[in-house]
Structure 1
Amino acid sequence: MTVQPPFLPMTMEEAERLGIDRFDIILITGDAYVDHPSFGTALIGRVLWDAGFSVGVIAQPDWRSDADFRRLGTPGLFFSVSAGNVDSLVNAFTPNLKRRSSDVYSPGGRLLRPDRATLVYTDKVHALFPGTPVVIGGIEASLRRFAHYDYWSDSVRQSILADAPADLLVFGMGEHQVVAIARRLAAGEAAGSLTDIPGTAYRVDLKTWRATDHTGYVVLPSYGEVRDDRYAYARAFAEHYREQDPMRGRRVAQPHPKTVVVQNPPAMPLSGEELDRVYELPYARAAHPSYTEPVPALEPVRFSVVSHRGCFGSCSFCALTHHQGRIIQSRSIDSIVREVERMAAMPEFTGVVQDVGGPTANMYGIHCGRWDDAGTCPDRRCIDCPALDRSHKEQLRLLRRLREIPGVKRVFIASGIRYDLIGPEDRDYLAEVCEHHISGHLKVAPEHVSARVSASMGKPSREVFEAFRERFEALQAGKSKRQYLVPYFMSGHPGCRIEDMVELAEYVRDTGLYTEQVQDFTPTPMSISTTIYHTGLDPFTLKEVYVPRDREKRVQRALMHYRDPKNYGLVCEGLRAAGREDLIGNAWNCLAPARRKKGARRP
């Protein structure tokens, strides 16, 4: 393993102390540089360093001047550009398109990144260093790699690779890809020849494309077609969605007015040994020492542990299928134990492991034999498959080992669990999780209870959640300190009508699950739900789907916060629209109180 610095260098002074006069690779990011494996720049930088390349970081450069971009000179191999851990527009705006007043990925929460940061940074780098290859990646580039609906401009935009002057786009988690790019450029290959690396996308000029044999390619409807025809957009989404498997996926191409964007099949998942190595690199778990203000996003995850990647839940509103994929990639228990032991030796560690998990904590260790040589099934969802081994034995083994580490007082699961993986036979598992791994609350995400909305979301039925809730409540009997479920609900999702939100509001009233954890659906790039929001069509069946918009979305959200006096008018409006005036009054079951008419006498 290559000797790594305490932090990746951000200045030439730091580089000189390491004996570096020119970096191989310079990473430009929209986030502050936090040396923690939950932050993409730190992880990619450490992986490249481990592979033998010198790496410098330019974090949150001032895009209005040249100085920050020139700070580290010209890299020997390439610039890598990322907007950061979150799409820059998701980060900058609330679901109702109000600009946020702070940025948790910036020191002091200050607003330091531009909108559409990947494009802005790449344009700047290309102008200042015209002969140097530029590779774009991160969540913003990954999920905008095809023509996509952009909620913030209410338009269909080109692939980000058609707009950004970059040589390659890395999609997915990126470790295999960036190391392959670095090695091949170091061997003297030209950036334009790197067209066969899994997990990357590249451009082909129109003349070359017309002369290319398209056998083996899935050619999507063109940008012009998907921009102008909602059926073409929906078909294009379904076609590239089906190719997001590393073993059975084919090349996908989409013509644009001036170029053709080609996506190679996804990169192979990292093996358990590779994941262990990535997460055991010597992260400082701290912001770069040059910062004088804290980076708010660090504290909730500083002493958390990534146990695995991937999620086979296939929720319609989540784009993880296009990024981490459905195949679960789990680290070894020994590796995670070593990581927690190192954390426990840090003077700042208070004895609490904040989280052990991944996209869904209780998918750790779950595996399907088909994944090894055939990939995921093209015609079914893993979450529904009776052949999937849903055992939680490996997760329990892991949690028990972590509880035994000296200096560790509590090990929490904060990333949430998938309750529909916990059946009646898993009572002991649920009891152990409740006893040792949650504090007063367990986060779960039913999202809705209406049958048609749950189906549109790809979530389990109300009955599945009710059965889990009953098992959870049964475990609270006799406890001096009872625990509570914290459910996440969503309003305004495609397929949801006002009467569905009234049904959900009545459910939380009757169960006592009233919560502030309500998310108004935001159409983010490359999810099934966003495709439905834009087209009004289910992309796999091309059937019409109802889509709430504008004021109705506000009414739907208000119904979930029916106790808030500020929402009174919208709640009454929604109840009347649903024909449920019976819920306006002073009876115990009413969602909005009756208001005395002006001038009326009190009885």
Structure 2
Amino acid sequence: MKSVAAEKEMIRLASWDDCRKSKEVFAESFRKFEEESSRYNGPGFIQPHDENRFVVVNPPGPAITTEALDAIYALPYTMEPHPRYRNKGDIPAFEMIKNSITIHRGCFGGCSFCALTVHQGRFITSRSHQSVLKETKQLTDKPWFRGHISDLGGPSANMYGMTPLKTELCHKCRRPSCIFPGICKNLNDNPESLTKLYREVAAVKNVKKITIGSGIRYDLHLSRKSSFMRQHKEYLEELFDNHISGYLKVAPEHSEPHVLSAMRKPSFELFAEFYEMFRKFNHRKNKKQFMVPYIISSHPECTLGDMHMVKKKLNQMGLNPEQVQDFMPTPMTLSSVIFYSGINPYTGKKVFTEKVPAAKKIQKSVFFENNIKHNKYRK
């Protein structure tokens, strides 16, 4: 362990036994882990498990480069299911992704309920245009391809090419999100390269339509402080005009400020602004396109009364979600720590979280059932 620590900084976390005995200690230990993990090429971690045993999480390696990511995608993949699945009918997972292309990895959104940052890192690595175009041409030669690319995206749809302006500042930064509560001044949020990529892929022979299936972080395009407002407007025009299948799926997740803050999501007012832009565009272009919002119920801070407010506000806008996801704890996320401990690690304050299965079901059913008796569980 000394040799590992000697090479790079190691952070000592509270012992497993102390975390087991105290939810306050557990919450504080997570806060330290999340903040330190948010740094570019951050430290490793050591957690004592008894007097002589430790869990050691080695420091992360350097972020993968565009050249290395391109080299991975240049390997001779068949782009087909394993031969063992032949003659066994359609494979749902393959059917979903067979016409999609991954263009980047990583996510700097930092949503409290999402583990993507833990899986792929907070910093974006994008494939080159040449690499994406090469895969596009390979895809068009596949016997199942009929001209429709179902997604050009990654963990999110629109973080492609967005990297720090000065990477050295990120070595010290402990923000879990680069865009909440506001967009970081050190983030290059220019979407121009992504807009160009959409157009280049659309020009490939036998490509008839590209739709964007990954989630859009609309707050990236609505900042009044961005130096790239013209490019953001151009990106949204390109998206609305050419890359929607008829339904644009976005995830405001909620409407109430205290719940959105707990989620690390932008304000509902920003979502309403985005929806109004979308509506006006469709009216101007005479397009029949619709927006489908995704909502989470029973998230920490969310009461049944809050869910009724979400329904009221969306209905006033003429929107009704097709899907409401009941919050389920996901390992290594802030929301799960709050769910277990009842404490927000960043404020030390107690937080309400609905845990009663019947009450969670009622929160989820607000949009879909009119005859359920809610009063027993109203907070």
Q: TM-score, normalised by structure 1?
A: 0.57
List alignment gaps of at least 5 residues for structure 1.
1-192, 197-211, 579-603
1:263 aligns with 2:57: yes
Find the aligned partners of 1:471 and 1:478 in 2 and give their Cα distance. Answer: 11
Residue 133 of structure 2 aligns to a residue in which SS? helix
Query: Counterparts in 2 of 1:38-117, with a 5 A limit?
Result: none
Corresponding residue for 1:411? Answer: 210
Query: Counterparts in 2 of 1:123-522, with a 5 A limit?
Result: 196=4, 216-245=9-38, 247-257=40-50, 259-291=53-85, 292-293=87-88, 294-371=90-167, 374-375=170-171, 377-379=173-175, 381-383=177-179, 384=182, 385-423=184-222, 425=229, 426-522=232-328
- Structure 2 letter corresponding to 1:238: R
Alignment check: 8 A CA contact 2:149 2:211 kept = yes
Alignment check: 8 A CA contact 1:246 1:267 kept = no
Q: Which has the higher contact order (CA 8 A, sep 6+)?
A: 2
Structure richer in helix, relative to its length: 2
Alignment check: 8 A CA contact 1:231 1:535 kept = yes
Q: How many residues align?
A: 365
Larger radius of gyration: 1
Alignment check: 8 A CA contact 1:327 1:371 kept = no
Find the aligned partners of 2:7 and 2:138 in 1 and give their Cα distance. Answer: 51
Question: Structure 1 stretch 538-547 or stretch 252-261: which is displaced more?
Answer: 252-261
Find the aligned partners of 2:188 and 2:114 in 1 and give their Cα distance. Answer: 23
Question: Structure 1 stretch 473-482 or stretch 328-337: which is displaced more?
Answer: 473-482
**CA 469–349 in structure 1, closer or farther in 2 if over 3 Å, else same:** same
Find the aligned partners of 1:376 and 1:365 in 2 and give their Cα distance. Answer: 22
Alignment check: 8 A CA contact 2:343 2:349 kept = yes
Find the aligned partners of 2:49 and 2:374 in 1 and give their Cα distance. Answer: 45
Find the aligned partners of 1:538 and 1:302 in 2 and give their Cα distance. Answer: 41
- Structure 2 letter corresponding to 1:377: C
CA apart distance, 1:267? 1.9
- Structure 2 letter corresponding to 1:288: H
Residue 235 of structure 1 aligns to a residue in which SS? helix
Corresponding residue for 1:206? Answer: none
Alignment check: 8 A CA contact 2:101 2:151 kept = yes
Residue 382 of structure 1 aligns to a residue in which SS? coil
Cα deviation digits, residues 145-185 of structure 1 (max 9, x gap): xxxxxxxxxxxxxxxxxxxxxxxxxxxxxxxxxxxxxxxxx
- Structure 1 letter corresponding to 2:217: R
Alignment check: 8 A CA contact 1:308 1:331 kept = yes
List alignment gaps of at least 5 residues for structure 2.
none
CA apart distance, 1:381? 3.4
Alignment check: 8 A CA contact 2:38 2:173 kept = no
Query: Counterparts in 2 of 1:12-23, with a 5 A limit?
Result: none
Corresponding residue for 1:142? Answer: none
**CA 217–376 in structure 1, closer or farther in 2 if over 3 Å, else same:** closer
CA apart distance, 1:379? 4.5
**CA 386–522 in structure 1, closer or farther in 2 if over 3 Å, else same:** same
**CA 405–214 in structure 1, closer or farther in 2 if over 3 Å, else same:** closer
Alignment check: 8 A CA contact 1:234 1:539 kept = yes
Alignment check: 8 A CA contact 2:41 2:63 kept = no
Alignment check: 8 A CA contact 1:416 1:442 kept = no
Alignment check: 8 A CA contact 1:243 1:265 kept = no
- Structure 2 letter corresponding to 1:266: P
CA apart distance, 1:352? 1.1
**CA 534–430 in structure 1, closer or farther in 2 if over 3 Å, else same:** same
Cα deviation digits, residues 189-243 of structure 1 (max 9, x gap): xxxx9x85xxxxxxxxxxxxxxx99994321111121122101110111111122
- Structure 2 letter corresponding to 1:228: K
- Structure 1 letter corresponding to 2:310: L
Cα RMSD after superposing both structures: 2.4
Cα deviation digits, residues 11-40 of structure 1 (max 9, x gap): xxxxxxxxxxxxxxxxxxxxxxxxxxxxxx
Find the aligned partners of 1:265 and 1:540 in 2 and give their Cα distance. Answer: 24
Alignment check: 8 A CA contact 1:245 1:265 kept = no
Residue 363 of structure 1 aligns to a residue in which SS? coil
Q: TM-score, normalised by structure 2?
A: 0.90
Find the aligned partners of 1:318 and 1:397 in 2 and give their Cα distance. Answer: 29
Residue 298 of structure 1 aligns to a residue in which SS? helix
Cα deviation digits, residues 428-448 of structure 1 (max 9, x gap): 321211111111011111000
Cα deviation digits, residues 463-499 of structure 1 (max 9, x gap): 1111111111110114444111111100000011122
Residue 459 of structure 1 aligns to a residue in which SS? coil
**CA 355–240 in structure 1, closer or farther in 2 if over 3 Å, else same:** same
CA apart distance, 1:561? 2.1
**CA 486–375 in structure 1, closer or farther in 2 if over 3 Å, else same:** farther
Alignment check: 8 A CA contact 1:272 1:331 kept = yes
